[in-house]
Structure formats: C-alpha cells, structure tokens
Structure 1
Amino acid sequence: MAHRQVEPYVWPRWLGRPEAGLRLIYLDLNHWISLAKAATGHKAGGRYREALEAVRTAAASGTTVFPLSATHYMEMSNIKDPRQRADIALVMEELSGFRTLLSRTIVMRFELEEALQNHPRIRGPQMQHFPLLNFGVGPSLGINGGIQIRSADGSDVTAASRLNWPGGPSAFDAWKRDAELYMERGALRGPSDTEVPSLKANGWDPTVARATAEKRAEQEREQGRRLDADPQWRKGHRLRDVVSARYVIIELFDALNEALGARGIQIEDVWQNKESARQFAEKMPSADVDVTLTTAAHRNRDKSWQANDIFDIDALSIAVPYCDVVVTERHSCSVLNATKVPRKAGTRVVPTLSDLITILNET
C-alpha cells in the first residue's frame, strides 16, 4: 500500500487561543459522572476519589481549565433523573466555572477559511475574531451568551440600563452576574420533575438535539448499507476518501459555497482531483478528527450507528485539536492514537481518570 503524505494542519488565525500557560483538559460525560459519584459519596465513587482531588487541585491552581462543550449540555438533557443531573452539574460547575469551548460550527468555518487562505492562489476576506474559551452555554451553541436588556422595539439597551440601574453600574454588574449564573445552572442541570409540564407548555423540547443526532446517525447507517453493496470500498485508503468527500458535502457544503462565492471562484479552483480534495480536508484539524473516527467506524460492517456516536465524534472533533489533554472512552482513544492524530495536534488522548492523574502529577 502506498504511503500517504501527512498534511500539516492549518490553524485558524481568527480563533483566539487561551493565554500561554493555561492548560485545557477535556473530559467526556462518563468521566464527569465518575467524578460526581466520588463527590456525592456514591458506593461506586470510591475508586475515583483520588482523581477528584487531583482535578480539584489542578482547577484551583488557575493554570488548568476543564471546559464544557455543547455535547455535554445535549447529553445531560438525556439523563432522566433530575437528582443525577444536579449532582453531575454541581461538579461540572466547580471544575469548569461554566467555561465552554466555542461552537463546533464556528470553529469549522474558521478552519475552512484558513484552508482557503492557505491556498497559494486564493485569498479572501478577514474574519471576526472569536475566543476558543468562553463563558456559558450560548457560545458553545454558536449564539451570544449572557443577559441582554431590550426595549419595546427590540433595541439593545443593556449599556444604558447599566448606567441608570438603582445602586449604579456595580449593582447592575452584581445582579447580572448572579442572574447569568442562575441561568447557566438551569441550562446544565435541566428542569426538575415539577418544572417540566410548564416548560413543555411553553414549547420546551429536550429531544431536539437527540432527534437531530439520530437523523445524522441514520445517514451513516445508509452509508453503511451502500458500502455493504460493494465491499471493495471498505479496503485500503478508498474508504477514507469516501468519508472525506461525504464530510465536505454534508458538513461543509453551505459554508464552502458561501466562502467560494465571496472569493468569486468555483470549487474546481480549489480541488482539481480526488487527491487535492483529500489533502484539503486533512489540513483542517476538526475535519481530520471527524473523518478519522468515522472511517474507523465504517471499517466495521457490523457497526450500528447511534445518536451517541454522533455526539462523541462532534465533541472529539473540537476537543482533540484544541485541548491539551482529552480523556475519552477506550475505543476512540485507541483509534486516534493508532492514527497519530493526537501527536499531529499536540494533544494527549487517554482513556481513564487514572491516566489523567499521572499526567497531572507530571507537572
């Protein structure tokens, strides 16, 4: 089998990275659940107490952040027991401070723009800068976070309200901070059983995110059936080429058309053949992680795609390139490390909290 050239990543210049010396450690939901068991004295939490103390110490040092992502909020909404959600949310608040990774959609767009800027014959407009690390659920979903005060005609009058607030601007800041914390806690823990009926009466639907993920999982199941019809596609590098092409069509198509239109060019100006298309996708860090995990899943013809698989891939596609350490489940960890994606990104990906303790004790 011919050796394939490893494409170096193009890192988006418009994405504001955390200050030097601040380490980002991403935990998937299962590990947050384990920490919550330790924090609440659950009978199964004893083996995680050392890890809980280690991450508490790291978070308190001010040099380590345990950020949340949109996937955490989506997965938390699927936990039916309000008490369990509350226990997990309490540990998440303590260790993350509600700091969140920027929306996957925005990061993907930045990577796409950077890949086009990196093309030797194509230049385009500058983008607005966004920080990778933010506060609250809003930025993780690609929307403005925080409380805004609007007038009857919809105008933003937050700044004016702050100046005229009873007690002055400092009183407004304190009120706003407390109100936003209340909102963030509610968004993460979800409603109690008694709150659900009134929320649903006002249009609240906790199943939307899972329904969307389920539709995407069905797309992968359909793709699996197409691959079954011609098993040759699962062999060698051909499968990755197929997955890369579908990633561009499904995940990047609208953004790519918009970016090309802004430059007045056609897709043929960027991709002359299959090889150049693959190389283009592999330059984008989140795309490389997504395609790597999806390709590995489709290697197994018995794979049964579920909504949780979509959640996991979405989360890791941002966490692996942009965090320093990722603690995830064993299979994804094995796939990523076998393909050397973490090494390329400069990230350590490990499967257990015990591994994380070892990393934290190294410094």
Structure 2
Amino acid sequence: MDIVYLDQNKWIELARVYSGAVRSGPLAEVYFQLLAAVEAGRALFPLSASHVLETSKRNDPESRGHVAATQAVLSKGFAYRSRASRLQVEICSVMHQIFGNPPMNLPEHWFLAECFLEAFESLDSLISQSEEVQRISRILTVISPADLYTDYMTGQSDEVRRMAHASLKQGLSDLVGRMEMRRKRLTGERVDLRRRAYFVQLFMDHEELFIRIADHLGYSYERLKSIGASAVKALVEEVPTLNVEAEMSARLEAEAGALTTNDVLDMQSFYTAIPYSSRVIAEKASVSRARQAKLDVRYQVVLSHSLTDLLNLYSKPPT
C-alpha cells in the first residue's frame, strides 16, 4: 500500500471536486481514482499535525467542512504519529545500531495512528496512556476515525478555535524569529556549514532525550559518548526526523527573502512525511529543497508538485 502525503494546498484542490466546484477534467479524474485506490487498499493519504491545524484555522465553516470531508475520506482518519513518538522510536533504533545490537522489530506502518488526534504528543498512544488517550479509544468504539475527524472540524466552538489559532500563530512567529536570528549569524555561509551548525544545535536541544532513552535501554550515556564523534554524529544524522529537519532548514535559511510561518509548517510537514511516505506531493519550493538534499534518494520517496502526477497511477493493475 502506498502512503501518500499531500500538502495542504493539494487537499484544497481536491476539496473543489468534493464540493462540486470542479466537475470534470484531470483534477476530477484524479479525485475519483484516489477514492477507488483507498477503497481497494492500494493507497492511503494520512493527515499530519499541520493538516489538522491548517484545516481548523479556516474561518469559513463551509469551506472548512469541504476540506475536512475530503481529508476524512482519503485518510480514513489515519495520521502520522507525533514528532515525539517518532523521535523516540528513531533514536532507540539508532542506539541499537551504535552498540551493535539487532535492529528493532517494528510493524510495517508503526508510524501511523488510527486517530488524527494522535498526531499530537499528549494524545499519542505510543507514548501516552493518559485518561484522555483512553477516552479517545472508547470513543472510537462507537464512531469511525474519519467521522470523528469531520465532527471535530465542523463542531468546534468558533471562539475557542480562533483563540487557539491566535496562540499558535504567536508561537510560530516566535520560531520564525529564532530562525531569522540564526540565519543572520550565518550570513554568507554555504549550505553545508549551515547544515552542520544545525546538527550541532539539534544535538544540544535533544541531549536530555538521548540520555533518557539510553538509560531506558540500559545503555550508559557516558559509554555512548566514549565511542566518539561517530556516535554523536549518528544521533542526529541517522535519526530521520532530525536529519530531514536539518537538511530542509539549512537550505531554507540560505535563501533570500523573509521567512514566514508557512515556511515553518512546510518544514514540519517534510520531516514528518519524507521518511515514512511512498510519495510526497507538495509545493515546488519545498520539493526543490528536498531534491537538492537528495532526501528522495535517501528515503526512497517520490517527490512531486502536481496532483496530476497521480493520474492513472492507481487505475492500473498492481505489479
């Protein structure tokens, strides 16, 4: 089964078919072919935390409902797990490699969660057994994940929704500010130096997590550091989420022009999707950065910027 990531703008395009605004042509053909592919179990189009946030912030209820319904039917309510749980599994795997132990035995699609809410750390059942997680599990016994998603998107309190997104916007703006400061410090430097500087920053930012995971696995963090630079390097360069973040950020920050909150969301989308997808359909600029970093080769993912690249892909018999 193909796991296909669609940029939010691609979801909006497909929602035009769902709503009836587009009734014929290549886009309509693609939409109905994708519906059939999902029904046949040949493809799935999971959601990410960015999708949930971007759909929720649409102020027009009708438009929000169309996008949500389109996402629900093609994702079946499934989502990529939270960054925190993906990191935990990735770091555990790399530590096993560093110490020469057998790789972890993981289910094929361990990175997917049945419910979109698990895209958020506090509600991700892989790392949390809170009362809220248990309550969601009970809810899913009486409603499908897809229906829960559409109900969530159409039934939110408008006041609470707007307040939450104002807070989110401020948080993203603060992150953009920190990125601009780092960008300024490295003015004139090449992408390779920016990438290495970002890896160092990521190692420092996640050192407590490395220590906690090493202790949980029964490895001495001191012994880990004694292995030398190769171990330290592996803890950022061989951890897919961190590697993609560094590669994409280094190229983004090397470009001219002011950074935006959409740039941050695009980066988060790529480090979520690239390591775990068969295909990623996104905007040209982000696809270009990923190709420059050869992330498509490293993670064996097909990158594209047009939905029409999916035309007839799933109408042929599987090979």
Q: How does 1:245-264 map to 2 (within 5 A)?
A: 245-250=200-205, 252-262=206-216, 263-264=219-220
Shift in alpha-carbon separation, 1:127–1:31, aligned structure 2, 3 A: same
Distance in 2, matches of 1:135 and 1:341, equals 27
Distance (Å, rounded) in 1 between the aligned partners of 2:264 and 2:23: 28
Tell me how far 1:348 sits from its aligned partner. Answer: 0.8
Shift of 1:307: 1.8
User: What secondary structure is seen at the aligned counterpart in 2 of 1:349?
Assistant: strand
Paired with 1:303 and 1:272, the residues of 2 have a C-alpha distance of 39
Q: Among residues 297, 300, 303, which one is paired with 1:343 in the alignment?
A: 297
| 2:285 is aligned with 1:331 | yes
Structure 1 residue 59 displacement after superposition? 1.2
Q: Equivalent residue for 1:266?
A: 222
CA deviations on 1:252-295 (whole Å, 9 max, x unpaired) are 2331232244433238716734x764444221222221111111
CA contact (8 A) 2:183 2:254 kept: no
* Structure 2 residue aligned with 1:166: none
Of 285-294 and 87-96, deviating more is 285-294
Cα displacement (A) at 1:140: 1.1
Give the structure 2 partner of residue 140 of structure 1: 119
Contact 1:241–1:278 (Cα < 8 Å) also in 2: no
- In 2, Cα distance between the equivalents of 1:361 and 1:157? 39
Unaligned runs of 5+ in 2: none
CA RMSD of aligned residues (A): 3.5
Contact 1:221/1:305 (<8 A) preserved: yes
Task: Specify the alignment match of 1:187 in structure 2.
Answer: 152
- Asked if 1:40 corresponds to 2:19, the answer is yes
Task: After TM superposition, give the deviation of residue 34 of structure 1 in Å.
Answer: 0.2
Q: Which residue of 2 aligns with 1:170?
A: none
> Does structure 1 residue 113 correspond to structure 2 residue 92?
yes
**Structure 2 CA distance, aligned partners of 1:219 and 1:253?**
20
With structure 1 as the length reference, what TM-score do the two structures score? Answer: 0.73
Q: 1:26 is paired with a residue of what secondary structure? A: strand
Q: What does residue 240 of structure 1 align with?
A: 195
- Which residue of the other structure, out of 54, 65, 79, is the alignment partner of 2:58? 79
* Paired residue secondary structure (2:143): helix
The answer for the alignment partner of 2:239 in structure 1 is: 284
Residue 236 of structure 1: CA displacement?
A: 5.7
> What is the identity, as a one-letter code, of the residue corresponding to 1:265?
Y
State the TM-score, normalizing by the size of structure 2: 0.83
Q: Segments of 4+ in structure 1 off by > 6 A? A: 126-130, 156-159
Number of residue pairs the alignment of both structures matches: 308
Higher helix share: 2
Match of 2:73 in 1: 94
Deviations 1:226-253 (A, max 9, x none): 112xx3xx22622211121122233x23
SS at match of 1:206: helix
Of all paired residues, the percent bearing the same amino acid is 18
Unpaired runs of at least 5, structure 1: 1-21, 163-172
State how far apart, in whole Å, the 1-side matches of 2:183 and 2:150 are: 40
> 1:52, CA displacement in angstroms?
0.9
Distance 1:208 1:127, change over 3 A: farther
